[in-house]
Structure 1
């Protein structure tokens, strides 16, 4: 990754404030962290599907309701108990009568219904093209084999109440084929069993994600309670652009009164770098633009078998277990140094058991798993939900030799291994309209990592205050600080190497005002400061600072047309004080944009409903860096201080 401004550090499928349904859904609190490698496309794809097909609160189980990231298990169980005691809800607003719902009702309202779901027969499609005007180094020198457009095509639908399907193809800029990424599924419900059969691409998630974690994990942004809501959704169809997160094969799910059974078999080819019959790495970028990248394309045969059995206990409790077996055509090479505990060999087996019990306002959960290498992983915690405050507290412990490519446990590491830590989150409603959120995460690694020659430790803290003065005005303040102890290899004047302890810390202070002038005009203003300090041997101290200012406007000047625009000015002279901002885009796309250097960014998004079943969305974005003559680095470097990107998308349904 370059130390200058990058075009996009993270491009993910995400839920956007939709013109077609009229709901303003702010998912930024879930996704505004600084986890550059984190991809939440499957989460927001799920939320987007719920906009089209909301959850019926008169039929849904507590587990289905708790899959909404804002809704805790305790509140979900209260909704079901209230329904059994009082009868069916007459309207979605009646759900607010359940204790604990009012605090999150604004967020969950668009995803709920009290009536039947949409008609038995429907189909929808999405077609998108993204084009960057400037040619990067790779296109000028013909390093990339394909064209510069990024394209996506998807179709999904329901043939009857019991048959669903989906197809998706995507091509990144520089790739040769329109279907470089292909996913699809056929889902069949057998109501009289009751059983679901999924053929094609699907994801699997059980318990707290230590055996099968599903396609995403809740690391949390400003929503400090979301990390505790990592609950498995079982086996679900997969139709997102994130590669390396899905299985391909046949899966079966059967739900009875007391038991729930999931089983699947998957056979697919994964991208891999293989030399002399040994696997050295599994590239995760999903890019196949150059000859070297194409050499890794679908090179490794992988066979995965999965099984899960879960039993409902008491009211609001469940206990279960999951088993995973993996087999590879070629063995993984044995590594040395910091990577010596990485997976090696041609097979792996992971076994885990989990427990989840809700008693009154308290939810207790735990999961423990062990891989074939005898490495273990553990997560245990509790959530408490009351009238004015909620809190979550849990402990995680992942041994350095725990090996599982499909684990998604909460943590700072990209892999669920070599980490232990304690997390605490609190939400307190001081009074009507005023809410305080606090979180603290203390963690450490037990073994050196690839870019850290010594075991490290650190802590993150966040404090967020939100004040709603009226239905039109909301002001918030957020402070986040991160401190990490690391060891770095240094050389003295004679060339002798030694290791020195560093203690870098980064703090961000954000001030934000949201103002709704009318029903059709909204604005958001933000000022954010970033401060970086580094302590060497606790004596020397270096400080750097950065600043960001943006103004955002949304204007729906006609029921069929909506426009959103944002101006951003930033000055982050050092990479250590880089700043991030969540950006809205055409529906189905969002960017967490990294801003580094000094410059300005501007974009405008317009949505127009051409017909009852046809919408078009366009976006223009421009960025200018005034202290450099190029943007990006390596093959993606642009020899210009400007970058212009155009997007166009067509959505249809019937």
Structure 2
């Protein structure tokens, strides 16, 4: 029996077994050096997401989280179950097996040792390998003072990016004069989009960085009195970790993730997708550095996490920043507020005079904390979170019936408790919260490995119509956690080697009215994906999805009020990826959509895309796509992932008829410099203009060019 051997002798048996399999895993005194492979992030994103159906999802933030996971890999010898779950790549059975292996035999000697754990098949190891490492000593203990570690860090780079639409858009033409004599609106800045980013970081040690971005149409202005400091958006952070009892200290911009994200959520939040099991659960990761270009999903101030006792940690945080809002003065002398805003604006654009007038008009102050307890073996976690949000001017939605229970006022305090219990192949988790209005939100779920080849998930959620949270993002059908009840069932089966079937069914109810839905309503969403991996370097899958949701219909003109009618969207997706040779790969994607409103005629849209990628020696890689699309209207538009320069992500929405092409070149100029250049163009058929409003282009084509330079220090 294993328990009768010493850990060292057991280790030697593991090594011997690996050698007999032809795997040079390790020796008694030294692990074999392992070079982590480059992750195929674009392929991974397509595996996690079912299909993009909107360009409003923060894909770039999700993509950047994956990049950061690669650049600051998780140490398998110290990673907790919560951290392993945050990768979204391992099942509960696999996580439990890895932790048990570590408990039985001590720290891993090499990444190759994962092959001795029966529950970890080669596909799982290949997927997780780019994001993990094996370190047997504290690497920070022998690296000198913090300032030396920052200067000596290999993960240390500066990025400069430029992009521009080549055709002239309406917003950059000379203004016209209206009938009243006023000039028409135009963009105030140049059509150039610029970004500069610097970051250096080391796992569980430190992170330091800044980002400055100017969107196309925005001005580059230095005016501190107007809170304008050159680029329109500027962000910076400094985070240190693992300083004795001080686990994390963040200064500047940061994110928070506690519980299931009912009150505080950030990072890799996939939601409902083709990964039907692991992405359902949120990981409570606490304070995280923020370096993205999204201008509304972060906190600005300070946060700290300290250890109070064994297994007990406390986090406190404070944030104050200005956000965009359209502030109005009350016209009624009996109004509750002299000044108010109908809501926070999230676009981040400040290109025109009207957009600039809304810039940073609302001051947001947030404070709160979290206490988390983890038992000795990490199987049970419980926590409590408090968040107080205050605005200097009131929020007050438009006086529409569907807004009757929306947040109204200046202050909101929300409290929550969360839990997680894992034992073997089972994990229970959940969070329940209450906002100042009295509204309650709760989400509770179960992940279960029924067998070595069968995983299941269940999640119940209920967000009251008067539950208010500003930074929550728990799983939901709505874009916000309000006015929704739902039950989600997920399943993943690997019936035979190389085959996998994943599916989910989600039933949801909306107890109160919504925008464009004038009565309580319900709907459902289901997906099934069948994946076949004939080789280690090729993947083929077919996916079907149906979503039924109600929207107001004016099909019956005799009705005084519109009646919600079911709207059905059915989609079919086929995808094939093959690394034909180590330097040449092909990807083919075909997708189609059928869309129906209120029992009317079906409308359709489809897209066919062919990708090719080739490496020309070590310094140069070329990637290209040619795509055809044909849709009946905007409702059947096709969204499709595209490869882009590092840290950028492209998901264009294509409607009408035409072609979409892009070419991406990545070249290593020397050991310090890497250059990306990307050209993309969309050509429409049977149209004279592209876009609308200030984005309108005269002609049937829209083209963009993008270049990015990285300097590694």
* TM score, norm. by length of structure 1: 0.92
Q: Which moved more, 1:236-245 or 1:497-506?
A: 497-506
In 2, Cα distance between equivalents of 1:373 and 1:97: 53
Is contact 1:454-1:486 (8 Å) kept? no
Matches within 5 A, 1:210-289: 210-214=262-266, 217-255=269-307, 256-276=309-329, 277-289=339-351
Measure how far apart 1:205 and its partner are: 1.1
In 2, Cα distance between equivalents of 1:41 and 1:543: 33
2:130 to 107, 110, 114: 110
Structure 2 match to 1:522? 585
Structure 1 match to 2:191? 148
Measure how far apart 1:86 and its partner are: 1.1
Q: Which moved more, 1:607-616 or 1:628-637?
A: 628-637
Which of 1 and 2 has greater Rg?
Answer: 2
Is contact 2:518-2:564 (8 Å) kept? no
1:50 has 2:93 as partner: no
For residues 309-360 of structure 1, give each alpha carbon's deviation from its aligned partner in whole angstroms, at most 9, with x where no partner exists: 0111363110111000111111222643211211111110000001100011
Structure 2 match to 1:173? 216
1:374 has 2:433 as partner: no
Structure 1 match to 2:120? 101
Structure 2 match to 1:384? 448
1:342 has 2:406 as partner: yes
In 1, Cα distance between equivalents of 2:653 and 2:697: 17
Structure 1 match to 2:355? 293
For residues 618-652 of structure 1, give each alpha carbon's deviation from its aligned partner in whole angstroms, at most 9, with x where no partner exists: 00111100021111112111111011110000011
For residues 452-478 of structure 1, give each alpha carbon's deviation from its aligned partner in whole angstroms, at most 9, with x where no partner exists: 222222111111111122235432111
Structure 1 match to 2:626? 567
Matches within 5 A, 1:288-437: 288-313=350-375, 315=377, 316-333=379-396, 335-336=398-399, 337-385=401-449, 386-437=451-502
1:28 to 31, 46, 51: 46
SS in 2 for 1:542: coil
Measure how far apart 1:577 and its partner are: 1.8
Structure 2 match to 1:623? 682
Aligned positions, number: 629
In 2, Cα distance between equivalents of 1:230 and 1:465: 25
1:531 to 594, 597, 600: 594
With over 3 angstroms needed to count, the CA separation of the structure-2 counterparts of 1:159 and 1:93, relative to structure 1, is closer
Measure how far apart 1:73 and its partner are: 5.2
SS in 2 for 1:584: coil
With over 3 angstroms needed to count, the CA separation of the structure-2 counterparts of 1:73 and 1:44, relative to structure 1, is farther
Measure how far apart 1:74 and its partner are: 5.3
In 2, Cα distance between equivalents of 1:34 and 1:233: 28
Q: Which moved more, 1:189-198 or 1:266-275?
A: 189-198
In 2, Cα distance between equivalents of 1:223 and 1:501: 31
In 1, Cα distance between equivalents of 2:109 and 2:395: 57
With over 3 angstroms needed to count, the CA separation of the structure-2 counterparts of 1:160 and 1:204, relative to structure 1, is closer
* TM score, norm. by length of structure 2: 0.85
Q: Which structure is higher in RCO with an 8 Å CA cutoff and minimum separation 6?
A: 1
In 1, Cα distance between equivalents of 2:120 and 2:384: 31
Structure 1 match to 2:639? 580
SS in 2 for 1:82: helix
Structure 1 match to 2:178? none
Measure how far apart 1:190 and its partner are: 5.5
Structure 1 match to 2:705? 646
Any unmatched runs of 5+ in structure 2?
A: 1-35, 144-148, 176-185, 221-229, 330-338
With over 3 angstroms needed to count, the CA separation of the structure-2 counterparts of 1:160 and 1:368, relative to structure 1, is closer
Is contact 2:368-2:385 (8 Å) kept? yes
Q: Which moved more, 1:384-393 or 1:226-235?
A: 226-235
Structure 2 match to 1:633? 692
Matches within 5 A, 1:154-193: 154-158=197-201, 162-177=205-220, 178-189=230-241, 191-193=243-245
Is contact 1:271-1:282 (8 Å) kept? yes
CA RMSD for the aligned pairs?
2.1
**Larger % of strand: which?**
1
Measure how far apart 1:291 and its partner are: 0.7
For residues 358-394 of structure 1, give each alpha carbon's deviation from its aligned partner in whole angstroms, at most 9, with x where no partner exists: 0110000111000000011010110012310111110
Structure 2 match to 1:442? 507
In 2, Cα distance between equivalents of 1:447 and 1:126: 47
Q: Which moved more, 1:458-467 or 1:272-281?
A: 272-281
